[in-house]
Amino acid sequence: MPELPEVETIKRGLSCFLIGAKITKIDVKCPKSFIGTQITSKVNSIRRFGKALVIDLSDKNSLMIHLRMTGQLIFDPKSPNTTSNRFAAGHPSDNFIASLPNNQTRVVIYFDNGILYFNDQRKFGFIKVLKTTEVENDSFIKKLAKEPWNISPDEFYQNLQKHRNSSIKATILDQSVICGLGNIYADESLFAAKIHPATKTGRIARSQSDLLLQAAANVMEKSITSGGSTMATYVKPDSTKGDYLEKFAQVFRKEGAPCPRCQTTILKTKVAGRGTHFCPQCQKEQND
């Protein structure tokens, strides 16, 4: 699910509501989804490390949240309590407009100004209590590479060299190579840079590496600007469902459609164990 742009969208959205708000109670509906003990304190700040969200609290604890494939965060302000006033982001689904909690609600965090629901169909995501001083020592956060707009072309290219025998798609999904890309933005970035997803990383030329890095930064910045997968784009004004992907995706879930550059039919295959979309004309195989 949520990749970096969606988590950034959540960070910005929740910051408006939660900075200074006090947690009054945490209701854990699925033990697997919450690691730690009951907490009651105020929110000092909200940070993001790649796809992980960190809520820093006044008692020197932090809540680290990773949504993985199907996690969602939905905040209902106490007043007025209507779905039109709701902030919802993460994996898009009808939960965004559903009455909550429901059978996919794993954790409910009560604040003095509203209720935050953590929904997660597949239970891969989690909320974990950490000492704030230990956040940057967390095993996941520690391994993260820099984000596309912070990593230098030299460093990115060097990181690629550690995975020369792996496909370029698998390599850029590795958060220790470049942080923030998931299955959508990997496909979109490779399309923008005109690189076949199955290309061996060792065959990526320096000029292609530079192009790919630029593409990743562009694609994700554009998505952050449009708000990731927020409810506003998921539910249209007439209350019918929309797909925010349609706004910018060139290849992701576009198999059978014409390539926006050359009209060749977009294909879907499997690379790195993941569904992979590309244009066979624009993104030629480079492997001998």
Question: In the complex, what is the shortest distance from the CB of residue 42 to DNA, in angstroms, rounded to a whole number?
Answer: 28
Q: Show contacts with DNA in window 3-42 (CB under 7 A).
A: 3, 5-6, 32
Question: In the complex, what is the shortest distance from the CB of residue 40 to DNA, in angstroms, rounded to a whole number?
Answer: 29
Question: In the complex, what is the shortest distance from the CB of residue 13 to DNA, in angstroms, rounded to a whole number?
Answer: 14
Whether the CA torsion 191, 196, 199, 204 is positive or negative: it is: negative
Task: Specify the residue, 70 or 283, whose C-beta has the smaller distance to DNA.
Answer: 70
Q: Is 270 among the residues that bind DNA (CB under 7 A)?
A: yes
Helix, strand or coil, per DSSP, at residue 260: coil
CA nearest to 26, candidates 126, 89, 115, 90: 115
Q: Is 99 among the residues that bind DNA (CB under 7 A)?
A: no
DSSP secondary structure letter of residue 21: -
Q: Show contacts with DNA in window 45-84 (CB under 7 A).
A: 50-51, 66, 68-69
* The amino acid at 57: L
**Tokens of residue 185, six digits:** 């933005």
Whether the CA torsion 204, 207, 208, 209 is positive or negative: it is: positive
Q: Which of 105, 119, 201, 250 binds DNA (CB under 7 A)?
A: 201
- Asked if omega into 280 is within 30° of 0 (cis), the reply is no
Residues carrying an active site annotation? 2-3, 51, 274
Question: In the complex, what is the shortest distance from the CB of residue 162 to DNA, in angstroms, rounded to a whole number?
Answer: 4
Question: In the complex, what is the shortest distance from the CB of residue 142 to DNA, in angstroms, rounded to a whole number?
Answer: 9
Q: How distant, in Å, are the alpha carbons of 22, 199, 235 from that of 129? A: 16, 40, 33
Question: In the complex, what is the shortest distance from the CB of residue 115 to DNA, in angstroms, rounded to a whole number?
Answer: 21
Q: Is 101 among the residues that bind DNA (CB under 7 A)?
A: no
Give CA–CA dist 72/33, Å, rounded: 12
Q: Is 206 among the residues that bind DNA (CB under 7 A)?
A: no
Let me know: does 243 contact 175? Beta carbons within 8 Å: no
* The amino acid at 143: K
CA nearest to 219, candidates 211, 231, 230, 209: 211
**How many Cβ atoms sit within 10 Å of the Cβ of residue 128?**
17
Q: Is 227 among the residues that bind DNA (CB under 7 A)?
A: no
Give CA–CA dist 18/39, Å, rounded: 15
Task: Specify the residue, 21 or 159, whose C-beta has the smaller distance to DNA.
Answer: 159
Window 147-186: contact mask with DNA (x via CB under 7 A): ---------------xxxxxx--xx-x-x------xxx--
The footprint of DNA on this chain (CB under 7 A) covers a number of residues equal to: 45
Contact residues toward DNA (CB under 7 A) are: 1-3, 5-6, 32, 50-51, 66, 68-69, 91-92, 103-104, 121-124, 139-140, 143, 162-167, 170-171, 173, 175, 182-184, 201, 228-229, 244-245, 270, 272-275
